[in-house]
A and B are shown apart, each in its own frame.
Chain A
Amino acid sequence: GALTSENEAAWLGLNVFLFVYYFLLFDRDKKFYYTRVLLGSALAWARASAKCLNFNSMLILLPVCRNLLSFLRGTCSCCRRTMRKQLDHNLTFHKLVAYAIALFTAVHIIAHLCNFEWYNDSQQAADGSLSSILSDLHQDEESNKWLNPIHSNSTVTYVTFTTIPGLTGVIITVALILMVTSSMEFIRRSYFEVFWYTHHLFIIYFAGLVIHGIAGLVRGQTAESLNKHNPEHCAQDPTHWGGNNKHSHCEEPEFGSIPAESWQWVLAPILLYVFERVLRFWRSQQRVVVTKVVVHPSKVLELQMHKKGFSMEVGQYIFINSPSVSRLEWHPFTLTSAPEEDFFSVHIRAVGDWTENLIDTFQQQKPKTPRIEVDGPFGTASEDVFQYEVAMLVGAGIGVTPFASVLKSIWYKFQHADQRLKTKKIYFYWLCRDTGAFAWFNDLLASLEQEMEESGKASFLNYRLFLTGWDNTAFNFDKDTDVVTGLKQKTSFGRPRWSNEFSAVATAHPRSVVGVFLCGPQALAKSLQKCCHQYSSLDPRKVKFYFNKENF
């Protein structure tokens, strides 16, 4: 949605700003003049990337705090907008930040490889050059005023593994690489446990990160020293430093560490994440009672459940864990019950190992129902769907699922003359290749239709089913679809021609405000949005179509 791309643009902007700002600082500031003599611009590359690494390490834990984010969104009533597939957006951002960390890590390491090499070269050089003079300063003293962290002849490898930043750097980089390789989509989807366990190496990553900078090996000239020794002036004549030379006024320069700051960046997110995990655990321990289990055609399992204190709104989703199937995996499912019902339900299709195992476990009808743990609900519901006098609801494929909740809720509200419901007419468009796995939704529509007829409100809901699997070129005779059982309204083959639909609705409701809601692919969103513009009248008293961008 739009909100996400704004966030990402802001994030990118901040990264660029941080990198450029600190690059220029370390490349220009007088404080680091002598450091640059030894290291060149590799210093700036290393420090700028370090700053960005701190920034991104701070951010990376936040998108996976789903309970806390949900809480924030819920309480922030000024941004009550529907978040489409909110979880997906969070994970996308998490991955983006992870890639940034990987990239900046590469830059940081390459820069420090150069730094170590050049520090070492300077330390070993005995040619009286500025570098070698600088490297010799304050080496033997107790005071910590040296510039070059390498104090004796050794190899860069030795230095790396015997200094805190070197050793922690190697360890956390290996941890990072293992996290990345085990998070590749292929591994994550096929061998979830490998991904999940390995990803906990982030604990090592953060611990190492916090320790990484405490040795203060990268140094700048102290402010005090800068007063007595101006590098731009004094660098020309290094052999006369400190002497009682009337011409130069150059004392020996003295250097101090840049204090470790990673902890300032990551402490709060770490605490938030710990709290999130505790919260998830506590929520998962709340007892979930399965009140009814229905097995629908095409291996769809409906679970009706009850949990103390659970309250939901239309369009939200929950995470389900079943320890008997897999102790670690949590899977998201859209809620298919209406808030007005005294249970909450999900419809689970068999789409992979976990879902198949779960459905099998329930079908075996063991005396003890398998234990279910629930986290959620998540996703800010849209109250907007009840605000429009006329609503056009479009559900494509699996996107039809939240509409089970929406339609039931609207009907409840209508029956009970709920003041919050402004809707007088619903046009529901269901697009799918075949209704097979959604036979339960079929039944839902049919039963709603029947109830409406009995109440004399048959005109309230107008629904159409479009079987998009049929078109001019392909015929799927072997699909066992019983497409139109029970549906009194027409079933059409092929995709809807939206211009027809919109013009018909506009004709039928010439003075109404029509809300258009979609749960489906982006391409469809574009066409619907186009039609909304096209068929909205310029006259404010006449028909207007509003496409709700943040959809289910």
Chain B
Amino acid sequence: MGRIEWAMWANEQALASGLILVTGGIVAVAAQFKGWPFAAYSIAAGVFVCLLEYPRGKRKKGSTMERCGQKYFTAVVKVFGPVTRNYYVRAILHAALAVPAGFLLSTILGMACLGIASAIYLLAAIRGEEWNPIEQKPQERPQVGGGTIKQPPTMPPPRPPVETRKKQPAEVAGQENPVPVAVEAE
């Protein structure tokens, strides 16, 4: 179990909060509840939070699983440099975004969840965590021997002498089951 990177959980929580804000907002706007302009705001805030939080940051230790298609979002989020890298900024931002949602019942849940996400981000920031983009590594074609072998050998390399090696006829490696099953009489 590696050291806990709180930002990873804060990220999940914030993403969920964004969705909840959007949902609560849509309900209030669609049903025209009293105070629905706050709901309209919540939809916008929720969408913004989702876009910001969708690209997962790179973990300090171990490999990070990317979310599907996140590289486009990473490219945009990366552009803002220290503003998006720093978790203090995110903590304050989420706290600020959450406040207006508290004025409408439909979006209060979103506010609470985003507030919690903000608190976890604050904890992450205090621990010195940072958002780093997951970069795409260029795909390396597995070149055997550094690309100098034009025609790879067809037999596996010789091994220390073993009795069974003698029983192997000069078969071509890589075929499906070239040797018939040894049928033993009862």
Contacts and interface: CB of A to CB of B under 8 A. Distances in A.
Interface of A: 106, 109-110, 113-114, 116-117, 120, 155-157, 160, 170, 173-174, 177-178, 180-182, 184, 186-187, 190-194, 326, 329, 353-354, 425, 459, 462, 464, 466, 470-475, 477, 482-497, 500-501, 504-505, 507-509
The 7 A-B pairs with the shortest beta carbon distances in the complex, nearest first, are: A504-B181, A497-B177, A181-B12, A472-B174, A156-B105, A181-B13, A494-B176
Nearest to A460: B184
A415 B62 CA distance: 49
A193 B8 contact: no
B116 A178 contact: yes
A208 to B, nearest CB: 14
Given A173-B109, A174-B113, A471-B174, 16 more contacts: A106-B23, A120-B34, A156-B105, A170-B112, A177-B16, A181-B12, A181-B16, A194-B4, A472-B175, A475-B153, A477-B157, A490-B164, A491-B164, A494-B176, A500-B177, A501-B181
B144 A113 contact: no
A181 B9 contact: yes
A155 B108 CA distance: 13
B62 A190 contact: yes
A109 B109 contact: yes
Contacts of B108: 157, 160, 170
B99 to A, nearest CB: 14
Nearest to A497: B177
B44 to A, nearest CB: 19
B33 interface: yes
Interface stretch (B79-87, B132-140, B165-173): B165-173
Given A193-B1, A504-B181, A177 B20 contact: yes
A157 B24 CA distance: 14
B31 A114 contact: yes
Contact of A492 (B23, B24, B177): B177
B178 interface: yes
Nearest to A491: B164
Interface string B1-13: 1101100110011
Given A117-B34, A493-B175, A496-B176, A191 B20 contact: no
A192 B3 CA distance: 10
Nearest to B174: A472
Contact of B173 (A184, A190, A493, A497): A493
Nearest to B104: A157
Contacts of B5: 190-191
Interface string B77-104: 0000000000000000000000000011
A187 B177 contact: no
B180 A117 contact: no
A353 B1 contact: yes
Contact of B164 (A329, A484, A493): A484
Given A117-B34, A190-B8, A353-B1, A470 B173 contact: yes
A113 B33 contact: yes
Interface in B5-42: 5, 8-9, 12-13, 16, 20, 23-24, 27-28, 31, 33-34
B173 A160 contact: no
Contacts of B142: 474
A109 B8 CA distance: 28
Contacts of B62: 190
A182 B164 CA distance: 53
Contacts of B173: 470, 493
B65 interface: yes
Residue among A177, A491, A501 with most chain B CB within 10 A: A177
A193 B4 contact: yes
Contacts of A474: 142
Nearest to B117: A181
B179 interface: yes
7 contacts: A113-B105, A156-B34, A186-B8, A191-B2, A326-B1, A475-B153, A493-B174
A425 to B, nearest CB: 8
Contacts of A509: 186
Nearest to A329: B1
B162 A484 contact: yes
B69 interface: no
A459 B171 CA distance: 26
A487 B177 contact: no
Contacts of B1: 191-193, 326, 329, 353-354
B31 A191 contact: no
B105 A482 contact: no
Could you say which of A190, A474, A489 has the most chain B C-beta atoms within 10 Å of its C-beta?
A: A190
Interface in B116-169: 116, 142, 144, 152-153, 156-157, 159-160, 162-165, 167-168
Q: Which residue, of B9, B23, B103, has the highest number of chain A Cβ atoms within 10 A?
A: B9
A170 B109 contact: yes
B2 A353 contact: yes
A329 B33 CA distance: 47
B162 A177 contact: no
A184 B15 CA distance: 12
Interface in B49-64: 56, 59, 62
Contacts of A106: 23
Contact of A190 (B59, B113, B152, B168): B59
B41 to A, nearest CB: 16
Contacts of A353: 1-2
A505 B184 CA distance: 10
Contact of B65 (A116, A157, A186): A186
Contacts of B109: 109, 170, 173-174, 177
A184 B14 CA distance: 13
A191 B163 contact: no
Contacts of B177: 466, 492, 494-497, 500-501
B175 A494 contact: yes
Contacts of A486: 162
Nearest to B27: A110
A458 to B, nearest CB: 9
B182 interface: yes
Contacts of A177: 13, 16, 20, 109, 113
A326 B113 CA distance: 30
A160 B105 contact: yes
Given A472-B174, A494-B175, A191 B165 contact: no
Nearest to B160: A482
